[in-house]
Amino acid sequence: EAGVAQSPRYKIIEKRQSVAFWCNPISGHATLYWYQQILGQGPKLLIQFQNNGVVDDSQLPKDRFSAERLKGVDSTLKIQPAKLEDSAVYLCASSLGAINGQYFGPGTRLTVT
């Protein structure tokens, strides 16, 4: 069974630029999550989708971050404009449902200079 795929794996941008991350969940997984992991900290949930609807985006900085999950499969997370404090690893996870275990992708390491 293929795991959660993410791209790109690494990205370096300057502050005020925009960036987008892509996630392809495990086939059949209805629930998709985006987490932000700052160096030395545990992951923090940014947004949770159930199929193509948003379940929880309470910790998403909506003035600069946006996410979508078209057709309930792939998802894109965008930052525009980026700030220095956005430097982190962005992890995507998926699960069969909210009560099932989550499977994580390898993450995208973002560096904002």
Partner 1 sequence: KQEVTQIPAALSVPEGENLVLNCSFTDSAIYNLQWFRQDPGKGLTSLLLIQSSQREQTSGRLNASLDKSSGRSTLYIAASQPGDSATYLCAVDENQGGKLIFGQGTELSVKP
Binding site for partner 1 (CB under 8 A): 4, 31, 33, 40-45, 48, 55-56, 91, 93, 95, 97-99, 101-107, 109
Report yes or no: 110 and 37 within 8 Å, Cβ to Cβ. Answer: no
Question: Shortest Cβ distance from residue 16 to partner 1 (Å)?
Answer: 27
Token digits of residue 94: 């998926």
Per-position b or e across 28-52, b if 16+ CB within 10 A of its CB: ebbbbbbbbeeeeeebebbbbbeee
Task: Kindly state the smallest distance separating residue 10's Cβ from partner 1, in Å.
Answer: 9
Residue 12 CA: distances (Å) to CA of 66, 73, 74, 76, 83: 19, 27, 23, 18, 12
**What is the smallest separation between the CB atom of 86 and partner 1, expressed in angstroms?**
19
| Residue number, 71 or 101, with CB nearest to partner 1 | 101
Cβ proximity to partner 1, 27 vs 58, nearer residue: 58
CB of 17 to partner 1, least distance (A): 23
Q: Closer to partner 1 by CB, 16 or 54: give it.
A: 54
Nearer to partner 1, 84 or 98 (CB): 98
Q: How many CB atoms lie within 10 A of CB 100?
A: 12
